[in-house]
Structure 1
Amino acid sequence: MDSKRGRVDWRGYIPAIVTPFTSDGALDFAGLGTMLDWLHGEGMHGLVIAGTTGEWTSLTPDERCQLFTAAGRQLGHKLPLLAGCTSFTARDTIAYARHAATVGFQGILVTPPPYLRPGDDEIHGFYSDISAESPLPICVYNWPPGTGIDMSLDLLARLADIPNVVAIKQSTGDLRRFVEAFFALKDQVLVFGHSMDEHGLQLLHAAGGDGTMGAGAVLGRVHADFYNHLWAGDLDAARECGRKDRVIMEQWYTTDLVGRFGSGPAILKAGLSARGVPAGFVRPPLRDVAAEDRIKIRQTLIELGAIGPAHAKQSAA
């Protein structure tokens, strides 16, 4: 078995970040720059650019490349960057990967082609084609809510054998399936997807693990510190960080990760904006969170100590 774990230095909390847009739908590069500085200052262990949370579905190919260029120039030499290169064809994914490689990225994150629901052999062929031409290592992304496919352990094991696949983001909602994939593949590739709750903490403590590719990083350093404290051996401090993360997940999302106040990007942008981070607006067909629900989001952040009541009142204005 070829272990590819040492080919990259990805670990810890690596959020898929939002893409700031102006009120008229243009890419907000000034807002992006400020947000990237904030995320770096909050100690993120890496970032995913133009992932699901980054609304890649509304980006033109040129815009996605512009986004990679801006992020890579600003942070590519400071922390690992993964380019969200999901598309409907291997040809397009390879083109994105080639551009990302020229602007400071260290890897690509790719789901199976969404909507089409290809079979196992077709998915294996898709990733094999990408592997043969991508200049960057691949993180396979199992994302059933977005693709309609919850890849089996047998298929994930086949994908882990593909030469340029070095990691799997296992975002199944089934804890048993995550644990099975983790133990079966963790000596061969990196496996991301540990929950930041007691189950995840105990698994990480007992068996090790690589990290979590979360969404948005709305709590900033709290997310990263879950892993920082874990690595330092302070489980109680890690547990407290995980508790705050679970409050966000329970108050803002249903158990199947559907947003209570709108889409995931819209909710995260509302939360980041309440913290003073210029996350911008979402693009249609998504809609920004309604004013009454923004109050609920701010209240959660107040309860968690992420913002003070005065800041929340000012942000609402």
Structure 2
Amino acid sequence: MDRTDVNWRGYWPAAPTPFDADGAFDAAAFEELLGLYADQGVHGVLVNGSTGEWFSQSRAERERVAATAVAAVAGRYPVVVGVTAYTPAEAADLARHAAAVGADGVLATPPPYVHPRSEEILAFYTAVASATDLPFMVYNWPRGVAVDMAADQDLVRRLCDLPTVAAFKDSTGDWLRMLATVESVGDRVRVFGSFLHRRGLAVLRGLGGDGNIDGGGLGAPFAVPAYEAVHAGDAAQAVAWIDRYTALSSALVTPDYSGRIASPISQLKAAMALLGQPGGTVRPPLLPVTGPADLERLRAALDAAGLEPAGGAR
């Protein structure tokens, strides 16, 4: 399997999992959110990733989220299911469930907390990626797992040699390492990284790269048309949309993917609430954003970006 076996490209939200005030999974809100993404024209979605708070869900809940997403999207865009876990056996079981409910692919980081070495990472992915015939996306997420696979491009190449690997999501905070990944394996697998800025546009038009997978999708009104312009070869139009996306993103997220106002998922869900979007609340250990000053900073960032609540009312 390689990059030609999937049509994955463009702007994908990493969907939050909506929880209600009592902390229960809100399936109706999730279905509404996935419908919003369809209306925005997103090119795919990742569920049960970091933004989906997989770490605070039970196995049964993760399976319900995956099944709900596949049924709600109903083929309108690709659904990739996050199966990150502490052991390859658990991740493989989640992958098999994703295949059974009709997901388009699966994704995993290296196991969190473990700090595995290169050979251990390769063994982990060999076991998980071979659990199904689904296209597999390797996810480099140093902020979450304390291991930056992009620092070892030999490892990256060996991972991309695994039979089912069709994509690599590189969320290293080191942009030059991400470029090395594009250069190293972009001819063989789809590479999702940090491209929604002017330097990234130059990379997309020259070196390569395929898309962004972005926590929550607040930037969809700018990022979707940006990628459409890229694919149409309209650089001037792409720059106009990218500049608007960059202004919003830089107001909320630092280059290492931490939040400027609160924890990234907490501030995302607070911003979605301000926009009237069905993001729900966070689960412990995360805390909701409730401070008036923090909420005002979020509102100011959304206003500056030109984003308004549904119906335009505050």
Contact 1:170 1:193 (8 Å CA) reproduced: yes
* Matched residue SS, 2:225: helix
Compute the displacement of 1:213 (Å). Answer: 1.2
Contact 2:195 2:204 (8 Å CA) reproduced: no
2:181 alignment counterpart: 181
Q: TM-score, normalised by structure 2?
A: 0.95
Match for residue 64 of structure 2 among 49, 62, 66: 66
Return 5+ residue gaps in structure 2 as ranges.
none
Supply the distance in 2 between the matched residues of 1:160 and 1:310 (Cα, whole angstroms): 45
Taking every aligned residue pair, what percent have the same amino acid on both sides? 37
* Matched residue SS, 1:82: strand
The 5 Å alignment of 1:79-90 reads 79-90=77-88
The 5 Å alignment of 1:222-261 reads 222-261=222-261
Aligned Cα root-mean-square deviation (Å): 1.6
Supply the distance in 1 between the matched residues of 2:302 and 2:237 (Cα, whole angstroms): 19
Compute the displacement of 1:185 (Å). Answer: 0.6
Distance 1:18 1:309, change over 3 A: closer
Supply the distance in 1 between the matched residues of 2:24 and 2:261 (Cα, whole angstroms): 24
Structure 2: which amino acid aligns with 1:8?
Answer: V
Supply the distance in 2 between the matched residues of 1:309 and 1:28 (Cα, whole angstroms): 20
1:265 alignment counterpart: 265
Compute the displacement of 1:109 (Å). Answer: 1.0
Supply the distance in 1 between the matched residues of 2:200 and 2:74 (Cα, whole angstroms): 29
Compute the displacement of 1:301 (Å). Answer: 1.4
Supply the distance in 2 between the matched residues of 1:304 and 1:165 (Cα, whole angstroms): 37
* Matched residue SS, 2:37: helix
1:86-116 Cα deviation digits (max 9, x unpaired): 0011111111111111222111110001100
Larger mean CA deviation between 263-272 and 146-155 belongs to: 263-272
Supply the distance in 2 between the matched residues of 1:158 and 1:186 (Cα, whole angstroms): 13
1:213 alignment counterpart: 213
Supply the distance in 2 between the matched residues of 1:280 and 1:94 (Cα, whole angstroms): 29
Match for residue 138 of structure 2 among 137, 140, 151: 140
* Matched residue SS, 2:13: coil
Compute the displacement of 1:29 (Å). Answer: 0.9
Structure 2: which amino acid aligns with 1:304?
Answer: A
Supply the distance in 2 between the matched residues of 1:272 and 1:308 (Cα, whole angstroms): 9
Compute the displacement of 1:171 (Å). Answer: 0.9
1:292 alignment counterpart: 293
Contact 1:5 1:189 (8 Å CA) reproduced: yes
Distance 1:171 1:309, change over 3 A: closer
Compute the displacement of 1:240 (Å). Answer: 2.1
Return 5+ residue gaps in structure 1 as ranges.
none
Contact 1:267 1:289 (8 Å CA) reproduced: yes
Contact 2:182 2:207 (8 Å CA) reproduced: no
* Matched residue SS, 1:214: strand
1:25 alignment counterpart: 23
Structure 1: which amino acid aligns with 2:42?
Answer: M
1:224-243 Cα deviation digits (max 9, x unpaired): 11100111222222112222
1:203 alignment counterpart: 203
1:196-238 Cα deviation digits (max 9, x unpaired): 0011011111233211111111133322111001112222221
Q: Does 1:109 align with 2:110?
A: no
Contact 1:219 1:306 (8 Å CA) reproduced: no
Contact 1:17 1:54 (8 Å CA) reproduced: yes
Contact 1:97 1:135 (8 Å CA) reproduced: no
Q: TM-score, normalised by structure 1?
A: 0.94
Supply the distance in 1 between the matched residues of 2:116 and 2:201 (Cα, whole angstroms): 34
Contact 2:222 2:241 (8 Å CA) reproduced: yes
How many residues are paired up? 311
Contact 1:302 1:308 (8 Å CA) reproduced: no
Compute the displacement of 1:130 (Å). Answer: 1.4
Contact 2:10 2:212 (8 Å CA) reproduced: yes
Compute the displacement of 1:308 (Å). Answer: 6.8
Supply the distance in 2 between the matched residues of 1:255 and 1:73 (Cα, whole angstroms): 35
